[in-house]
Amino acid sequence: MSFRIGFGVDFHQLVEGRDLWIGGVLIPHHKGAKGHSDADVLLHAICDALLGAACLGDIGVHFPDTSAEFKNIDSKILLQRTMQLIINEGYSIVNVDSTLCLQAPKIRPYIIDMQTTIAQILNIGKNDVSVKATTTEQMGFVGREEGLVAYATVLLSK
Ligand SMILES: [Zn+2]
């Protein structure tokens, strides 16, 4: 059996008048993430980690933000399609670990929902999907609530 590790990171601005989707879960907040799709920072980071592990480029290559097809698209669909690319290469997912970085709102109440949603799409156990959250202690663009960041690592086996 061979193993491949992958890493992904994603950033989005937080703006008024947008929904806040994180990890496939709609989170009530006065700001949402700006982007071409639904701007789900966590699912995008996981997509990039999966693609990275399989050496298949990045999310922008497969789902370009210039394409009308992906305008306001649900990122769960992007994750599903990414998963299919991974399967096509003969890989299966061992586990996902991730960290969200944002100042507000508090993410803890939504983490189990995120884990369940992501695990379902990736067809792995809920305990194979770790989602953690941290702030930047009020520092920088995250601390000023101008944006949010997600980091993800995955392990694939073949
Ligand atoms: Zn993104």
Q: Which amino acid, 38?
A: D
Q: How far is the CA of 11 from the centre of ligand 1 (A)?
A: 6
Q: How far is the CA of 158 from the centre of ligand 1 (A)?
A: 27
Q: How far is the CA of 34 from the centre of ligand 1 (A)?
A: 9
pLDDT at 68: 87
**What's the gap between Cα 7 and its chain centre?**
11
Q: pLDDT at residue 145 above 90? A: yes
pLDDT digits (tens, 9 = 90+) for 101-133: 999 999 999 999 999 999 999 999 999 999 999
Cβ atoms of 14 and 34 within 8 Å: the answer is: yes
Give the environment of ion ligand 1: residues with CB less than 5 A. Answer: 10, 44
- The backbone region for 123, taken as left when phi is positive above 0, alpha when psi lies in -120 to 50, beta otherwise, is left
Q: How far is the CA of 87 from the centre of ligand 1 (A)?
A: 22
pLDDT at 150: 98
Q: How far is the CA of 44 from the centre of ligand 1 (A)?
A: 5
User: What value does the mean pLDDT take over residues 130-154?
Assistant: 98
pLDDT at 72: 87
Q: Record the tokens describing residue 77, joined without a space.
A: 């669909």
> 14 forms bridges with which residues in the sheet?
33
The answer, as to whether pTM is greater than 0.95, is yes
pLDDT at 67: 86
pLDDT digits (tens, 9 = 90+) for 54-96: 999 999 999 988 888 888 899 999 999 999 999 999 999 999 9
User: What value does the mean pLDDT take over residues 14-34?
Assistant: 97
Which has the higher per-residue pLDDT, 65 or 26? 26
Q: How far is the CA of 157 from the centre of ligand 1 (A)?
A: 25
Q: pLDDT at residue 52 above 90? A: yes
pLDDT at 119: 98
Beta strands 129-134; 92-101: pairing state: parallel
